[in-house]
Structure 1
Amino acid sequence: MNRPARFEGPKKATNVSLNAELVEEAKKLGINVSDACQSGLAAEVKKARDAAWKEENRAAIESWNEYIRKNGMPYDKYRQF
Structure 2
Amino acid sequence: MILITGAHKAFALYKAIEEGVNHMWTVSAFQQHPSCLFVCDEDATLELRVKTVKYFKALSEVHHRLSLMGVHSKLIEET
- Normalization by structure 1: what TM-score? 0.33
Larger-Rg structure: 1
Q: Which has the higher contact order (CA 8 A, sep 6+)?
A: 2
TM-score, normalised via structure 2 length: 0.34
Point out the structure with the larger strand share.
2
